[in-house]
Amino acid sequence: MSADTPLLSVRDLHTSFPLRSALLRRPVGQIQAVAGVSFDIPAGGTLGLVGESGSGKSTVARTIIGLEKPRSGSIVFDGEELTSLPKASMRRVRRQLQMIFQDPYASLNPRATVEQIISEAWEIHPDVVPRSRHRAEVRDLLERVGLNPDHAQRYPHQFSGGQRQRIGIARALALRPKLVICDEAVSALDVSVQAQVLNLLADLRRDLGLAYLFIAHDLSVVRHISDHVAVMYLGRVVETATQDELFQRPLHPYTQALLSAVPDPKPWDKPRREPIIIGGDVPSPADPPSGCRFRTRCWKAEDICAQEEPALQTRLDRHPAACHFATEPAGAAR
Amino acid sequence: MSALLSVRDLRVEFATSGGVVTAVDGASFEVGPGETVALLGESGSGKSVTAQAVMGIVPKPAGRIAGGSISYDDRDLLAPGAAKGLRGREIAMVFQDPLSSLNPVFRVGAQIGEMFRRHRGASRKEARAAALDLMKRVGIPAASKRLDDYPHQFSGGMRQRVMIAMALALSPRLLIADEPTTALDVTVQAQIMDLLTRLQAEEGMSLVLITHDLGVVADVADRVVLMYAGRVVETGPIREVYEHSGHPYTAGLMGSVPVLDGSRDRLIPIQGSPPDLLSLPSGCSFRPRCRYADTLCAEQEPELLALPDRPIGHRAACHHPEGVLTDVG
């Protein structure tokens, strides 16, 4: 694998769920949760995937990790095509690909000790850590995620929410993955604890060379941790750029509205920016609007937006945005 | 200016399997007429229980008000029978989860209209017309078509608008909103905050915004009351408190939160874990996480006192506010 081959490369991914009738459970349609998503993550890089509910960001994660079957598209991880991989090979690849979930309590077995939770993966992959080393390795991992190694025999309920999330991180690290998918991994935590976990994730990336797919709805958090950011709306990526570009000069109206809506804890002493408040709600993914999916809430929408779906392509010599009328916002450099 | 709502030394206890928990431990604050006050705190801080005490909906029998006073418009809300006719009329509340606060089997228009029928003796027809008016005021599109829809047919943001409509039905003078936008997407959150502040200006009512999000209230609140482990640790004009924090917890929160146009440097989190209400430390509850803590902090609970050389109304409950102010400044 050459140096510039991405660690993860997703191309034109489609994942849909059947919509069934209430009475006979007959398929009556499709919910296109993910409708043609492409992105790359280099080794050691962090891609932030942002979007509101129904954007399909979590379905992207679940499809990559094999919890959902894609309808079409390709997922190449570490040189292997995951969508056509036999089960046995998938197990081998999945070692390198781990996930941290939002709810640290629901994702930990309440009847297992921390040591059992972390070492469970080594039962399936005995070549990673031999049984004689389990106890010592668990202690190392706990120390690395900032927990007391002497607490290895405790149960999840004996830990606070932030500590439980650290256990989830230790478990994800147990198989020495190359890519960790963080699905709203800090969303449920109080802000004082969230900062601790964000710092931990940054330290682990630096020390272990991890790559992250960091999925979150909180843009401030995503900006803080990501190198690149992709914005999703109703199953599609509408804009993607480096962290710096995207937050400084967003091109897509949805990104602009999203950034404008982020509450600012320090609004004083700044030029007053006119908030963009978009009306309405995200349409149903079972019946997305024709053409551009954002047009029903967009203040720039014209006839062409209903007829022609804008491609995600480089516009204005800048980064890719899927909008017929992509422009920099008024007073861009804020 | 006399306060519309005045909470003094409020103490609320809950019986749990692990023992008695003091969820609110001597909290005091005031809300003036037309004022917007943010009640800010993380989980377990007692901010929601404080609101429940004001509304008289502390869960029973586990919870009980163990001390203190709550007065509204100089009337004692805790006296038996005194709150009748006030709560729900003059004091209204909006909750985080609108779906569980609406009755799923009644049409939305009828649920809003019920307020007028029950409290104002309106006829069915009058109530329906009043409900329609309110739905328009809170920005529900095609309101006349949606009167006969059920709650599940509304999106989260629209349900929150319905809740706000019901809260406003009887023109309250005080609206308490408990995490009104926490369950909503950020673009919808912006819509609801915009609506709440617009309605507050139109009605001239007082607004208490309960939240864990420092950012949501920064632009709209006049004053902030910050709670930690059941106690008020800092209070004052919101910009003053955010920019010149006098309590190490407040300063810690400000260092923990990533800001959209701020630095991407390492965050400065608060060390340690949130407090366990069943085994609070002696003295100051924050001291196990505090870098200024000394023996005084373990021996004596700090009082909420005015800060030296800071504007009137800025108070903090810390033995070492000078150190905090210097470091933040």
Q: What is the mean pLDDT of chain B?
A: 92
ω before B61 within 30° of 0 (cis)? yes
Q: Which residue in B188, B190, B268 is closest to A275 by CB distance? A: B190
Name which of B209, B260, B265, B279 to mutate to probe chain A: the one with the most chain A Cβ atoms within 10 A of its Cβ. B260
Q: How far is CA B17 from CA A29, A157, B14, B278, B282, in A?
A: 49, 15, 10, 10, 22
**CA end-to-end span of chain B, whole Å?**
31
| % residues pLDDT > 90 (chain A) | 67
Highest-confidence range of A29-33, A44-48, A103-107, B254-258, by mean pLDDT? Answer: A44-48
The one-letter amino acid at A15: T
Residues listed for chain B: 329
pLDDT over 50 at A55, yes or no = yes
Q: Which residue in A191, A196, A257 is closest to B187 by CB distance? A: A257
Longest dimension (CA), chain A: 68
Confidence (pLDDT) at A269: 79
Name which of B40, B146, B187, B263 to mutate to probe chain A: the one with the most chain A Cβ atoms within 10 A of its Cβ. B187
Least trusted range by pLDDT, from A102-111, A291-300, B118-127, B201-210: A102-111
A283: phi then psi, degrees, rounded to nearest 5: -65, 165
| % residues pLDDT > 70 (chain A) | 97
Confidence (pLDDT) at B207: 97
Q: How many Cβ pairs closer than 8 A exist between chain A and B?
A: 131
- Assign 3-class secondary structure to chain B: CCCCEEEEEEEEEEEECCEEEEEEEEEEEEECCCCEEEEECCCCCCHHHHHHHHHCCCCCCCEEEEEEEEEECCEECCCCCCCCCCECCCEEEECCCHHHHCCCCCCHHHHHHHHHHHHHCCCHHHHHHHHHHHHHHCCCCCHHHHCCCCHHHCCHHHHHHHHHHHHHCCCCCEEEEECCCCCCCHHHHHHHHHHHHHHHHHHCCEEEEEECCHHHHHCCCCEEEEEECCEEEEEEEHHHHHHCCCCHHHHHHHHHCCCCCCCCCCCCCCCCCCCCHHHCCCCCCCHHHCCCCCHHHHHCCCCCEECCCCCCCCEECCCCHHHHHHHHC
**A35 confidence band (pLDDT: 50, 70, 90):** very high
Report d(CA A23, CA A80) in Å as an integer: 42
Q: Are A76 and A18 in contact (CB under 8 A)?
A: no
Angle among Cα B101, B55, B314 to the nearest 5 degrees reads: 115
Confidence (pLDDT) at A22: 76
pLDDT < 50 positions in chain B: none
Helix (H, G, I), strand (E, B) or coil at A171: helix
The reply to whether B42 touches chain A by the CB within 8 Å rule is yes
Report d(CA A34, CA A156) in Å as an integer: 34
Interchain proximity B259–A260, CB inside 8 Å = no
| Tally: H helices and E strands in chain A | 10, 12
Confidence (pLDDT) at B282: 95
**A3 confidence band (pLDDT: 50, 70, 90):** low
Q: What is the mean pLDDT of chain A?
A: 90
For residue A167 the two structure tokens come to 């256990």
Confidence (pLDDT) at A96: 94
Q: Are B24 and B45 in contact (CB under 8 A)?
A: no
Interchain proximity A275–B194, CB inside 8 Å = yes
The reply to whether B18 touches chain A by the CB within 8 Å rule is no
* Residue ranges of domains in chain B, CATH in brackets: 5-225 (3.40.50.300), 229-328 (no CATH)
Interchain proximity A195–B243, CB inside 8 Å = no
Q: Of B323, B329, B314, B325, whose CA–CA distance to B240 is shortest?
A: B314
Q: Are B307 and B316 in contact (CB under 8 A)?
A: yes
pLDDT over 80 at A186, yes or no = yes
Report d(CA A332, CA B15) in Å as an integer: 55
pLDDT over 70 at A332, yes or no = no
Confidence (pLDDT) at A151: 93
Which of A329 and A17 is assigned the larger pLDDT? A17
Q: Which residue in A161, A262, A280 is closest to B260 by CB distance? A: A262
* Residue ranges of domains in chain A, CATH in brackets: 8-96+177-321 (3.40.50.300), 107-176 (no CATH)
Confidence (pLDDT) at A331: 46
- State the virtual CA torsion across A66, A72, A75, A79 in degrees, nearest 10: 120
